[in-house]
Structure 1
Amino acid sequence: MRRLPPRALLAVCAAALVPALASCGLLSDSANAEGPALSAPVGVTAQAGSATSVHVMWNRPTSTARVERYEVYRGGKLVRKLPAERHMVDVTGLRAKTRYAFTVRARGTDGSLGPASARVTVTTPASLARDRTAPTRPTGLRGTVDGGRAVSLEWRRATDHKGVVSYDIYQGSAKIHSVGGKETRALVTGLRPDTAYVFSVRARDAADNTSEASGTVRLRTARGKAETGRGTAPSGFEASTRRAKGAYYIDLAWTPPRTGGEVPAYQVFLDGREATTVAWGESAPTGSATYGFYIGKKARETHRVKLRAQLPDGTWGAFSAERTVVTGED
């Protein structure tokens, strides 16, 4: 089985292997302060919208501490402050063909500043002088409901004489998401059950010319408090064991769910409990993914394993199929 590339950052906060939360950076410096401490915003993504802008998105921290605002940093510089109800922003005034790193921090109602989110990087495309021609509008927009909290949207590519850089997804008149110009699919999460939504898509080029809106699609999420649907689960999941240097390992292989972008992390569950989180750096696998981990030195032990993917808003999708393996058996 192909091993993970060297750029992969593995085994972040293993519940079964690293029990100390502080060692995983989950507790902020103010953990001993009165009341709950702020945690870092999750699910941070950055997508180049044009040669001079980047669309940054995130989800609220998992802690129960009250948030007054969010602060967006480019490198170590604070570039935007937004109220607690805002979870996205277009950072403008950037340079073309330049690599940028972004983090997000939450500011509490008590004035405390929470820890920085995971760092995300993005490179703006080359600028196009005197380009005033907008892309054609995306066509063929359609969507499917994926449980009570998510929908999947698909469309046909727009065209542009210089190339499409990004697609912006709108809910009504509000932009709620962006995906890369090579994508024709987006997973919209964080929705409410049994609620009607209207979506449309616009294409954007490097000069920030924006197309007319696509046609609209109307969708109603499933009733009840259903979790995100099966479309968010990794597919083709397989597990096997191998023996190396007197010990046994479990090797996993799967295909990432189609979210409209890279899946940055996966939670691996062993025998019904979270064992580890596998997080990639700047280039997460798209076509297929593999991961292997140590399980022990005893033969003929039976284990159950499954995993789930982190979605664009930082929440976790549906579980893959569960596989059973026995150490010492091929």
Structure 2
Amino acid sequence: MCSRHSWHTGLDQCPRGEGITVRRTPGPALLTAAACTAALMTTVSCGGPARGDRPPSAPTGVTAQAGSATSVHVMWNQADDDSGVIAYEVYRGTTKVKEVPGEQHMVDITGLKPSVGYAFAVRARDADGNTGPLSKKVPVTTPAAVEEDREPPTRPRQVRGQVAGGRAVSLSWSRATDDRGVASYDIYQGTSKIHSTRGRETSALITGLRPGTTYAFTVRARDAADNTSPVSRTVRLTTAAGGEDGRGTAPTGFRATTHREDGAYYIDLSWTPPRTGGAVTEYRIHLDGRLATTLVWGGAAPQDKAEHSFFVTRESGVSYRVRIRARLPDGTWGGFSTERTVTTGADGQPRER
């Protein structure tokens, strides 16, 4: 029995992909009154509360990673709201521990205990005073305390940057060293900390920037005792002016094939998520240049390889052009993957365009 909320045209079957919610955007001819009622749990709106009365959505892409033995860095994606999110509330278990402005999508929770498991969640509040539902709870365990550790990590070196369109840049650096191990890397824009990654990560995608603007970035390493390294060299990057081209924010290694099962044809997709420094939990699939399906991972989102399969038709010999894009941590949609063409019932490899 299908336990995930989904809606399909033609077949009432669950798509493959554990923990995925699928929202299909039908064409006008397919949207009947009955379909509208059934689609209330998807992207289709069928009346309901007036503008300003709807609460914000639950933030997605929530991650929590230990920055040290006594601190945790919590990040999340921008929530949707019709009147604008003005604040985010961060909860440790059932206790509210932080509130930050609506333009901020990260926070450090300090004063924690070493070697203890915690669960964090986030909810949004809008300008009309509506409070949205809590996000899913994300578990994290702080590392053990390190006694008498006063030795900071070494400075991250070989810091490089590349512009990824008008609203994003990618950064990379070589690993820092520490006598007890690096717990995390902190990324600064000017003097403000704007991002944090796990100690085993040496790259990050910074989104939510302005086109045609010059930014200065630096990186610092942190160990479990909260010792921080000297600051890295400064990398200055100017985002592309004008329209967003999405370079560097697109899923890579995108592949599309088809298979037949129980008299129906499915498109099978696989890709590598863009490296954002956090979890990418939402994707849009476009068929023949139009939005067909939105995928939302309800559980842990894959970071190395993602796969999904969905029904398209019962007919053989039908060709589809398919591509995919990811929702970035700032709430915007990244660049499109390579477009692939597949034909149901056809032999051979899909064609690339």
Unpaired segments of 5 or more residues in structure 2? Answer: 1-15, 348-353
Which residue matches 1:249? 266
Which residue matches 2:81? 63
260-269 or 50-59, larger mean C-alpha shift: 260-269
CA contact (8 A) 1:70 1:104 kept: yes
Which residue matches 2:211? 193
CA contact (8 A) 1:46 1:102 kept: yes
Please give the secondary structure, in 2, of the residue aligned with 1:64: coil
Which residue matches 1:159? 177
* Alpha-carbon distance between aligned partners in 1 of 2:84 and 2:281, rounded to the nearest angstrom: 26
Please give the secondary structure, in 2, of the residue aligned with 1:319: coil
Kindly tell me: are residues 110 and 208 of structure 1, through their superposed partners in 2, closer, same or farther at Cα, counting changes over 3 Å?
same
Which residue matches 2:23? 13
Q: Which amino acid aligns with 1:208?
A: D
CA contact (8 A) 1:306 1:323 kept: yes
Which residue matches 1:309? 326
62-71 or 6-15, larger mean C-alpha shift: 6-15
From 219, 231, 248, give the equivalent of 1:213.
231
Unpaired segments of 5 or more residues in structure 1? Answer: 1-5
TM-score by length of 2: 0.82
Kindly tell me: are residues 60 and 152 of structure 1, through their superposed partners in 2, closer, same or farther at Cα, counting changes over 3 Å?
same
Task: Show structure 1 runs of 4+ deviating over 6 A.
Answer: none
From 262, 285, 290, give the equivalent of 2:302.
285
Kindly tell me: are residues 59 and 241 of structure 1, through their superposed partners in 2, closer, same or farther at Cα, counting changes over 3 Å?
closer
From 128, 132, 154, give the equivalent of 1:110.
128
Identical residues among aligned pairs (%): 58
Higher relative contact order (CA 8 A, sep 6+): 1
Q: RMSD over aligned Cα, in angstroms?
A: 2.6
299-308 or 92-101, larger mean C-alpha shift: 92-101
- Cα displacement string for residues 256-291 of structure 1 (whole angstroms, at most 9, x for unaligned residues): 223334433322222333333333455433333222
| Pair 1:39-2:56 in alignment | yes
TM-score by length of 1: 0.87
* Alpha-carbon distance between aligned partners in 1 of 2:103 and 2:116, rounded to the nearest angstrom: 30
- Cα displacement string for residues 172-217 of structure 1 (whole angstroms, at most 9, x for unaligned residues): 0000000110111111000001111100001011111111111111
* Alpha-carbon distance between aligned partners in 1 of 2:320 and 2:43, rounded to the nearest angstrom: 29
Cα displacement (A) at 1:296: 2.5
Cα displacement (A) at 1:166: 0.6
Kindly tell me: are residues 201 and 293 of structure 1, through their superposed partners in 2, closer, same or farther at Cα, counting changes over 3 Å?
same
From 77, 93, 96, give the equivalent of 2:111.
93
Please give the secondary structure, in 2, of the residue aligned with 1:22: helix
Cα displacement (A) at 1:33: 5.1
Please give the secondary structure, in 2, of the residue aligned with 1:49: strand
Kindly tell me: are residues 7 and 189 of structure 1, through their superposed partners in 2, closer, same or farther at Cα, counting changes over 3 Å?
same
Q: Which amino acid aligns with 1:74?
A: R
CA contact (8 A) 2:250 2:325 kept: yes
- Cα displacement string for residues 32-91 of structure 1 (whole angstroms, at most 9, x for unaligned residues): 256352322444332221122111223443323143422111233211122334332111
CA contact (8 A) 2:188 2:219 kept: yes
* Alpha-carbon distance between aligned partners in 2 of 1:315 and 1:119, rounded to the nearest angstrom: 23
Kindly tell me: are residues 292 and 86 of structure 1, through their superposed partners in 2, closer, same or farther at Cα, counting changes over 3 Å?
closer
Which residue matches 2:100? 82
CA contact (8 A) 2:56 2:85 kept: no
